[in-house]
Amino acid sequence: MYERDLIKNLRHWRDKAQRKPLVLRGARQVGKTTLVDEFAKEFDAYISLNLELADDAAVFQRYTDVNDI
Protein backbone atom coordinates (compact mmCIF):
# COMPACT_ATOMS: atom_id res chain seq x y z
CA MET A 1 0.00 0.00 0.00
CA TYR A 2 2.69 2.52 0.98
CA GLU A 3 4.80 1.59 -2.04
CA ARG A 4 1.90 2.37 -4.37
CA ASP A 5 1.55 5.83 -2.81
CA LEU A 6 5.24 6.50 -3.36
CA ILE A 7 5.11 5.31 -6.99
CA LYS A 8 2.10 7.59 -7.44
CA ASN A 9 4.17 10.52 -6.13
CA LEU A 10 6.98 9.67 -8.56
CA ARG A 11 4.51 9.56 -11.46
CA HIS A 12 3.22 12.98 -10.43
CA TRP A 13 6.82 14.29 -10.49
CA ARG A 14 7.40 12.67 -13.90
CA ASP A 15 4.32 14.30 -15.42
CA LYS A 16 5.20 17.87 -14.37
CA ALA A 17 6.14 20.04 -17.34
CA GLN A 18 8.68 22.06 -15.37
CA ARG A 19 10.05 19.37 -13.08
CA LYS A 20 13.35 19.69 -11.29
CA PRO A 21 15.86 16.87 -10.76
CA LEU A 22 14.67 14.21 -8.37
CA VAL A 23 16.69 13.55 -5.23
CA LEU A 24 15.61 10.79 -2.88
CA ARG A 25 16.98 10.99 0.62
CA GLY A 26 16.38 8.82 3.61
CA ALA A 27 17.84 6.46 6.13
CA ARG A 28 19.79 3.42 5.01
CA GLN A 29 17.91 0.25 4.10
CA VAL A 30 14.43 1.79 3.79
CA GLY A 31 13.87 0.93 0.11
CA LYS A 32 14.95 4.01 -1.86
CA THR A 33 16.79 2.01 -4.51
CA THR A 34 14.01 -0.58 -4.71
CA LEU A 35 11.46 2.18 -5.20
CA VAL A 36 13.45 3.80 -8.01
CA ASP A 37 14.14 0.44 -9.68
CA GLU A 38 10.41 -0.33 -9.62
CA PHE A 39 9.56 3.11 -11.02
CA ALA A 40 12.21 2.71 -13.72
CA LYS A 41 10.35 -0.29 -15.16
CA GLU A 42 7.87 2.22 -16.60
CA PHE A 43 10.55 3.66 -18.91
CA ASP A 44 12.22 2.33 -22.05
CA ALA A 45 15.65 3.45 -20.83
CA TYR A 46 17.08 3.83 -17.36
CA ILE A 47 20.59 4.63 -16.19
CA SER A 48 21.37 3.86 -12.58
CA LEU A 49 24.12 5.91 -10.94
CA ASN A 50 25.32 5.68 -7.37
CA LEU A 51 27.44 8.74 -6.69
CA GLU A 52 28.96 7.05 -3.67
CA LEU A 53 30.76 4.75 -6.13
CA ALA A 54 33.98 6.21 -7.53
CA ASP A 55 33.31 5.06 -11.12
CA ASP A 56 29.83 6.62 -11.18
CA ALA A 57 30.96 9.85 -9.52
CA ALA A 58 33.88 10.17 -11.95
CA VAL A 59 31.43 10.83 -14.79
CA PHE A 60 30.51 14.12 -13.13
CA GLN A 61 34.02 15.03 -12.02
CA ARG A 62 35.29 15.11 -15.61
CA TYR A 63 33.23 18.16 -16.50
CA THR A 64 33.17 21.71 -15.20
CA ASP A 65 30.05 22.75 -17.13
CA VAL A 66 26.74 20.99 -16.47
CA ASN A 67 25.73 21.54 -20.11
CA ASP A 68 28.60 19.28 -21.21
CA ILE A 69 27.24 16.37 -19.20
Q: Domain residues for 47?
A: 2-68
* pTM tops 0.95, yes or no: no
Q: Please tell me the predicted confidence (pLDDT) of residue 25.
A: 86
Rounded distance between C-alpha atoms, residue 69 and residue 62, angstroms: 9
C-alpha pair distances (Å), 53 with each of 12, 21, 22, 31: 29, 20, 19, 18
Structural domain count, the chain: 1
For 1-56, write each residue's pLDDT tens digit.
Answer: 466 889 999 999 999 999 988 888 889 999 998 999 999 999 999 888 888 899 99
Per-residue model confidence (pLDDT) at position 42: 93
